[in-house]
Amino acid sequence: MHSSELLKGTLQTIVLKVLKDNGKMYGYEITTLVKELSENRILLTEGALYPTLHRLEAEGLLRTEVVNIGKRVRKYYALTPDGKAQAKDRVNEFVDFIKTMSAVLHVRMAQ
Amino acid sequence: MHSSELLKGTLQTIVLKVLKDNGKMYGYEITTLVKELSENRILLTEGALYPTLHRLEAEGLLRTEVVNIGKRVRKYYALTPDGKAQAKDRVNEFVDFIKTMSAVLHVRMAQ
DNA sequence: GTCTAATACATAAATCACTTATGTATTAAT
DNA sequence: ATTAATACATAAGTGATTTATGTATTAGAC
């Protein structure tokens, strides 16, 4: 469960965007989806993910719904209206970051 | 001197690549170049830059040359052969990171 | 001619996201 | 029956970066 130093600071952006794209999801489901989308390059750790979900909820960006699956508990997270706005902002910020870095590093990425 | 959380982990990559592109440079010069290339979006702090330069030198990726300009001292840094290889690797790693993130966030950037 | 901003280096303490480690419990697979 | 996968949670430790200081020279504004 590790990845490059570059991933630091991307967790909230990732969580907000996958929730925007997929509606409600639970924590474990987010880790598996991100693992799949990233072709095993981004392996979210629970120690980072759960506190982040709790924090985003405390900030009013996510709302939760607890569902019992047999004797097991699942906690679904979905974006609030504020969360949707934040998701958009964060993705824009990321795209801007890529453009800036591309200019500094002289790599052609941003079209 | 601040910027987004996303910048974290990019400092070494930036330093190595601008040195690769510009030959020898001194610390202050690096901050002004990066500020210019990033259109004021990336403002390197001295507290981060100088320790990073010292560390890269200690790792054998940079070599230094001290020059006296009047009564003022300038410390020029340049890549060693290992440093050149690292610069290449770091940029490749960054491009790969962008591709992965683009896939996860569903943003089209990488060609 | 003096004051401020810019140039140029340096380091130490504090911060904070994230990793690592640990814990509990259920369910599926071998 | 045992292990791996599912599913949550939190606490201690790490480490890059920010913030805060410090010293000193040179250029520019007024």
CB B45 within 8 A of CB A43: no
Residue B5 lies in a domain: no
- Å: B103 CA to C18 C1': 22
Q: What's the structural domain count of chain A?
A: 1
Interface touch A104/B14, C-beta < 8 Å: yes
Interface touch B101/A93, C-beta < 8 Å: no
Choose from B6, B11, B16 for mutation: most chain A CBs within 10 A. Answer: B6
Q: pLDDT by residue (tens digit) across B10-64?
A: 999 999 999 999 999 999 999 999 999 999 999 999 999 999 999 999 999 999 9
| Structural domain for B90, as ranges | 10-104
Residues from chain B that touch A9, judged by Cβ atoms under 8 A, are 4-9
CA–CA dist A72, B77 (Å, integer) = 58
Interface touch B100/A34, C-beta < 8 Å: no
Residue B3 lies in a domain: no
Residue A82 lies in a domain: yes
Residue A19 lies in a domain: yes
> Helix axis angle, A11-22 relative to A27-37, nearest 10°?
100
Residues from chain B that touch A95, judged by Cβ atoms under 8 A, are 107, 109
Beta bridge partner(s), residue B64:
B77
Would you call A1 helix, strand, or coil by DSSP? Answer: coil
SS (H, E, C) chain B: CCCCHHHCCCHHHHHHHHHHHHCCEEHHHHHHHHHHHCCCCCCCCHHHHHHHHHHHHHCCCEEEEEEEECCEEEEEEEECHHHHHHHHHHHHHHHHHHHHHHHHHCCCCCC
- Closest by CA to A87, choosing from A78, A98, A75, is A78
Q: What is the CATH number of the domain that holds A12?
A: 1.10.10.10
What is chain A's pLDDT, residue by residue, as a tens digit (111 residues)? 445 799 989 999 999 999 999 999 999 999 999 999 999 999 999 999 999 999 999 999 999 999 999 898 999 999 999 999 999 999 999 999 999 999 999 998 755
Residue B1 lies in a domain: no
B108 CB and strand D closer than 7 A? no
Residue B109 lies in a domain: no
Residue B111 lies in a domain: no
pLDDT at A1: 40
Tokens representing B16?
């190595």
Residue A24 lies in a domain: yes
CA–CA dist B17, A49 (Å, integer) = 32
